[in-house]
Every structure is written in structure tokens, then in C-alpha cells.
Structure 1
């Protein structure tokens, strides 16, 4: 395995794009990781720090409320959401990711399911009081991102909250210069989550990455009226 944790994801992504399957690389990567042949760069063995900080600052009460975690991976973010009292659904397009999450958290209250953000179940439309999107949209090629943004917004219930965490891309940087994955989000892309009906941006912060102070991460909070 390479010392560069992004090399294997990019190799799998390139192969998937060449076969016109832009989301197929997720299963390829998780399957290779399960066999000890790759690592998951975003699997830190704990919840994303920016999500943990959001919970500490906002102190939402999840009792009796439904939440969904998009692109749940190995489950750490979903477990944090469930620990805050939410009835939590967490989905990933990769069956191996879902199996890994279930194995990592055998006593979990989270419902882990295989699902595709771009082709989500109809019953999920406006169904969740809290929607958590971390690094999933940016893991999709740039031409797919507008559709993914719309699909994320579709999940938020009236009165519900959407939390988005993503790597930041400089405004004006040409798409062709971005070698993904990931394909980080511009501020304009981040703000476009609010283009969905009744979904408005209420907070947007940029903070330095803990691993690379020269790059920034977005954390945005949206509310559906």
C-alpha cells in the first residue's frame, strides 16, 4: 500500500470513470480495504471533529426525531448522531461499507442500509429532521455535484436541519485543474444547497484542515422553513 492515502481512491475512481461508473469506485475501495489491500482515508476511528463541535455548540435534542447520515462509510458519524437521541438511518452505496459499519458497531441503534444518494427511496423525501452530509458530494465528479446537492436537500423535512461538511476549493479554480477524488466544493457550490425550496443557509464557516493548514474545510448549517 502507498504512504499517500489518496492514491488508492484516485486509482479506483479513475478505473470506475473509465468504465462510465462514477460511483462504482466506492465499493471497489471498501472491498479492497476489507481485504487489507487499501485504506479508507476518511476513516479516522471517530466522528468528524466538525460534526462533534456542531453538536456541542448547537445541543440539539434528538428525542423523537429522525436523522439520516449520507455516505455513512464505517459508521462513526452515524453513531454520534444516534448517541444524541435521534432515530438514525445511515446509508452508503457500498455494501461492504455497510457491512463494515455493522461489524464495527454490533450493538448499534443505527439502521445501516445500502442506498444510492442519486436514486434514493421515495419515502425519504422531506423525511428527516436532521440530515448530515460529510464529504459525499465532493467524492463525486464535478458534473454530478449539482444533482447530488439537490438530492441532499430533498431529504430535509419541514423545520429540519442540514449540516454539510466539505473540503474547500478556491473560487475561480477551473474544474479541469481539480484532480479528484476529492473534488472539493467552492463557496458557490456550498451555498447552492440553499437553492432547494424553503431551504436557507443560516451559518457558514471555513476552518483550516488539521492535516494541512493551507487548505480549508467548510461547515454549513441550513434550515428548511
Structure 2
């Protein structure tokens, strides 16, 4: 029986972890996809709907002129291109050189600054540099052994009074914590982004109960992050 895109990703991730790297499998997968030997399971062919919805609901903040945005783990670049279309000065990065080559080739006239970068070794000048940080299923693509470091790295990108959106899948009931990717976030792991003057303001759940969008803001602290608005559906 041939591998599905999800099972191939899981196998490559397991091999990468066994070799001591939580991220090397991304390059292996994108390289295989470039040769027609694999598919990218998270390539939706369009921006994530929960990002697109948030931008519609926050029209004032979606006006990106003179504002900066960053998309970690950009992959095919759909989310980054949406932000650039709204006139954000957008940076997008991926640890996979092949992913960046592919997205640059797909968008040769893009205004997005696509970079090869490692989430665990970010350029110092990116610290606190972005008004909008869009984290779509990147942290959940790495195992829990590096979850705290990945969360801190994402959090470090947010500028004063900036916004962080974290979008991902809901951890199912009775999960095997070692099964993945994805290693979906628990509620506590979502709330862990709220540190260093970054506060959880809203946690929205999709109508299918399988997705969430968390919104954090820096320097607008809440007295109690557990009082953040929790809504359903998105």
C-alpha cells in the first residue's frame, strides 16, 4: 500500500527526530515534493480560512500600510501573499531552502521578503520587529520536546503593541502525546504564548471543533488571561 501524504510526513518526521533534528524533515519533504515523489499535506492552495476571516473581522488592523508582518514556516506562501496584498511589509521564512525556492518561483513578482531561516536561530534584528505575527500550524509541526523553545521564538517576533495569531488543530480527546506530526497544542500550550507582556485576548473555535485561532497582544495586559474571550464558532 502506498503512503499517504500524512503518513509520509509522519515517517520523515520520525526519521528526523531519530537523527536528533526536529526540523530536518521539512527539507526532505519539500525536496521529494519538488521531484513529484510526495505531496505537502498542509498546502491548502489558499490562505488559511481562519486568517482570512480574522482579517475581515479586523478591517482596521488589516490595513497594512506602514506596518510589518511575518509568517514563520511559510511553506507555499499563501498566507504571506494575502498579507502582502493588504500592503503589509511582509517577511516570510522557512527552514527548508527548497520551500523558499519553490515559493519564490511560484510568486516571481511578489512583494514578500522570503527568507531561509531557522526558528531556533532567528536573526537578532527580527526580535520585536513585527506588528503582526501569523503562526499557522508551525509550532504543532514540531514535537513537545522543543515546544517551549518554539513558542518563545514565535513570541519574540511580536513588536510592542503588536498582534500574534496562532492557528492550528485542536488536540483530540485521549491523544497519544508522541503521535505526530502534527503534535497539536493543548489548551495550556496555547496559553503559554502569553508571556513577556503578551496577553491572550481571544480564543476562537471553529464550527467543526477541530480548529482554533488564538489572538495575543503585546503591552495590553489582561488581569487574568483565563478571562480572555472564548467563542465558538469562528
Question: 1:224 maps to which residue?
Answer: 218
**What are the residue-to-residue correspondences of 1:83-94 with 2, within 5 Å?**
83-94=85-96
* Distance (whole Å) between structure 2 residues aligned to residue 65 and residue 205 of structure 1: 25
1:25-79 CA-partner distances (Å, limit 9, x unpaired): 0000000000000000111211111110111111122100111001000111100
Question: 2:163 maps to which residue?
Answer: 161
Question: 2:111 maps to which residue?
Answer: 109
Helix, strand or coil at the partner of 2:36: coil
**What are the residue-to-residue correspondences of 1:1-225 with 2, within 5 Å?**
2=2, 4-59=4-59, 60=61, 61-170=63-172, 173=175, 175-176=177-178, 179-194=179-194, 196-208=195-207, 213=208, 216-225=210-219
1:130-158 CA-partner distances (Å, limit 9, x unpaired): 00000000000111111111111100000
Helix, strand or coil at the partner of 2:206: strand
* Distance (whole Å) between structure 1 residues aligned to residue 157 and residue 38 of structure 2: 32
1:102-138 CA-partner distances (Å, limit 9, x unpaired): 0111110000000011110111110100000000000
Helix, strand or coil at the partner of 1:193: coil
* Distance (whole Å) between structure 2 residues aligned to residue 98 and residue 153 of structure 1: 23
Question: 2:225 maps to which residue?
Answer: none
| TM-score (normalizing by structure 1) | 0.92
Q: CA deviation at 1:174?
A: 5.5
List structure 1 runs of 4+ shifted beyond 4 angstroms: 170-174
Tell me how large the CA RMSD over aligned residues is.
1.5
Question: Contact 1:171 / 1:187 at 8 angstroms: preserved in 2?
Answer: no
* Distance (whole Å) between structure 2 residues aligned to residue 80 and residue 2 of structure 1: 35
Structure 2 segments unaligned to the other structure (5+ residues): 220-234
Structure 1 segments unaligned to the other structure (5+ residues): none
1:86-105 CA-partner distances (Å, limit 9, x unpaired): 00000000000001110111
How many positions carry a matched residue from both structures? Answer: 217
Helix, strand or coil at the partner of 1:175: coil
Change in 2 beyond 3 A, CA 1:167/1:98: same
Question: Contact 1:91 / 1:112 at 8 angstroms: preserved in 2?
Answer: yes
Q: CA deviation at 1:4?
A: 2.7
* Distance (whole Å) between structure 2 residues aligned to residue 223 and residue 18 of structure 1: 36
* Distance (whole Å) between structure 2 residues aligned to residue 152 and residue 58 of structure 1: 22
Helix, strand or coil at the partner of 1:189: helix
